[in-house]
Structure 1
Amino acid sequence: MESLDLPSDIIFEILTRTSLNTLGKCRLVCKEWNHMTYESSFTRLHCERTHTILGYFIQCMSRNKRTATFVSIDKSLDSIFDMSLNFLPRSVAIEASSNQGILYCESQEPQSLRNPRIPQYYVCKPSTKQWQAIPNPKTRYFTERTGMIVLGSNPLHYKIVRFSQPKFSFKSMGYYNLRCEIFDSKFWAWKQSKEIQLPHLVPLSYSPTVLASGTMYWLTTHNHVFAFHVDQESWSMFPIPKPFNENDHYKKKQLVEYQGRLALICMGREVGIEVWVMDDYGNQVWNKRQTLNMDALRREKCYASPHEVFTFRSDLEPNNLMGKKGFSQKLAFFPRKKVEYE
């Protein structure tokens, strides 16, 4: 598809001034636009012009308590935007992040002394200091994995998927089952979906959810990818690229989102870092996009290993976290500081 007969530099200028929501739609117009909007030069200029916050929440474990620190891709903005989670009424741990700056968190303190084991759950937008307590899922079932997806921005519509340990396990029957609950902000309630039945001894990895094209992905411990299709409330599994199944030269594997697609990053003992992208979901075709040299990384001294890393991208516009159901419980507007760029 041609880019509407406009010069690429004009399209670049227009797209760097669009909102996050509009940018996501523009990426669907054609491959040229999609590729352009993922270039590093575009990302930096778009963040500057639209005051978009882009970075990572690094969550570490210390003394059985998780703490999250935000790291921006542009260090000059760290002193301008306060992205701490101290505005929440309780100390929390991040359970899932979305592609629109909304986090799903669990309190690390009990709701009350009467129920010391029952936490409180929140959705929040750190860039605007908004938060909202949401109804609890079935907390008597231990949480295994969670994911979050934003389906609409005006009004805000999101879903949270929670997998938990069932009351009765069927491991002896050859499969590993998980309870599945889905919170829909449109109805402001959890509902139980059909249980997940994975092959025996194939649990999901502990890494945060990877979201691509409306599907949530987790890596399994047996070199497969577990996919949960939110719209259909169904799931599937498929293998990672063959080279990683046939040898053990790759000591670290991680699913990521790469230019809107599912990708796999693999760190090898000798081959360095490889980036493989799922180019054909229907036929499960992986293609290698990049190979990175690790010599520079090997010279770096690493003193800590994060427990979890959550990708974060947000604008500064307030959202009604309850969607059409009402108004957010907490809406803390704060004066915006003037942002100056060199």
Structure 2
Amino acid sequence: MEMESKKKKRNLHIPDDIIFNILRRLPPKSFARFKCVCKSWQSFANQHKYHNQKLLLFSSKTIQSIDIEADEIKAVDLEIPFKVSNPILQIASCNGLLCILTEREGFVIWNPLIGRYKRVSNTSEYKKFGFWYDHSTENYKIVRFKFMRFLDPNSEIQQRCSAEIYSQKSNSWQQKELLPWQIFSIFGDSLFGVLVNETLYWKIDYIHNCAVLCFDTLTEKFDMIKPPDNVHVFGLGAFKGHLCLAEYRKAGHFDIWTREVGKNQNWIKFMNLPPLIERKSSLFYRYLLPICSMKEDEILVGIRNLLTLLPIQREDELFLYSPEAQTYKKFHICDTVKHLIKEVTYTDSFVSP
């Protein structure tokens, strides 16, 4: 009898690969409830990646989530678990974590799926920033910029941009370096850097010419790259895992460039976006930028500000573009709140702040 009992106990064991295969099929919220069962389940959850790309629309106090792969495109209000007494300026996304910058309370890191958050700093001095997650060390980081004025030896006022990096593991900021004096400003319609393949990108004013500032998150080194030849007015974004540069040409046309992967890393023109006929006259200070691919080979396209940070009403600023027909149609979202002025894409994860 004792031998039979031991055999039964051995037969009750289910291999981890079978368990993990079952867990990964669960909806994210159901999976979240089981991650605390044991350490192996929690470790698997932290490393597991979902590919359900979502869209966040937000304004000063409201954040809505849209599952763009669902049959019905519907906006769902996210319950913000922390107090937002000041307007939300910008939201950056990486690996399911949101880095939220408020006007006076500084940065907050939040995972909407599991509901956990962490306040990082209480400052309003730093407006431009970048956010990324280091998978090798399970550490999320923020880089922020501040322009400082000082007197040089000739008693002339000079301006330099300094960079600081926050590490979740040490819970502290560290002075990184002063950027070259030729960088006069970091600008664009977004306050955060575009994250593509472990590199952050910002549009900068480099000796009164537009260029691109790069930050390698693996080496934590800065570099500068020039835009394509004879390209002067442009915006930056990410599309299908590549850095995108949208060049305004004329009469509302936009050429979309991307960078080669490898040693050469030359700019390649891969798409032309025709003008939005009804908005043709008002697009001079804005640009069209592809956001993500949709069903039926359509592309979700957004309108971004080129030169200013003035808020724009988002209720009619998202369009579906058909490359085959070269036509646009408005991207309709059910239950969305008016005046949600900005958007960012993200995917679910169980990474905890």
Q: What's the TM-score, normalizing by structure 1? A: 0.60
CA contact (8 A) 1:164 1:179 kept: yes
Instruction: Specify the alignment match of 2:352 in structure 1.
Output: 320
Instruction: Specify the alignment match of 1:84 in structure 2.
Output: 78
SS of 1:168's equivalent? Answer: strand
SS of 1:129's equivalent? Answer: coil
- Does residue 104 (structure 1) correspond to residue 87 (structure 2)? The answer is no
Deviation at 1:236, TM superposition (A): 1.4
- Aligned CA RMSD, in angstroms, stands at 3.9
Q: Summarize the alignment of residues 124-273 of structure 1 with structure 2, pairs less than 5 Å apart.
A: 124-134=110-120, 136=121, 139=123, 142-152=125-135, 156-166=138-148, 168=150, 176-199=159-182, 201-207=184-190, 208-221=192-205, 222-245=209-232, 253-270=234-251, 272-273=253-254
CA contact (8 A) 2:141 2:168 kept: yes
- Quick one: distance in 1 between partners of 2:276 and 2:189? 28
- Quick one: distance in 2 between partners of 1:241 and 1:175? 30
Superposed CA offset, 1:188-217 (max 9, x none): 221111121241535433423101121110
CA contact (8 A) 2:199 2:215 kept: yes
**Paired-residue identity, %:** 19
Aligned AA for 1:212? V
Aligned AA for 1:230? T
Aligned AA for 1:263? C
Deviation at 1:82, TM superposition (A): 3.7
Q: What's the TM-score, normalizing by structure 2? A: 0.58
Flag the structure with larger Rg: 2
- Does residue 57 (structure 1) correspond to residue 66 (structure 2)? The answer is no
Aligned AA for 1:125? N
Instruction: Specify the alignment match of 1:28 in structure 2.
Output: none
CA pair 172-69 structure 1, distance change in 2 beyond 3 A: farther
Superposed CA offset, 1:208-261 (max 9, x none): 31011211101124221111222322211121111314xxxx5xx221112222
Structure 2, unaligned runs of 5 or more = 1-20, 27-49, 283-302, 304-310, 315-339
* Mean CA deviation greater in 272-281 or 211-220: 272-281
CA pair 276-179 structure 1, distance change in 2 beyond 3 A: same
SS of 2:230's equivalent? Answer: helix
Deviation at 1:318, TM superposition (A): 3.5
CA contact (8 A) 1:56 1:72 kept: no
Counting matched residue pairs gives 250
CA pair 305-172 structure 1, distance change in 2 beyond 3 A: farther
- Quick one: distance in 1 between partners of 2:260 and 2:248? 20
CA pair 297-54 structure 1, distance change in 2 beyond 3 A: farther
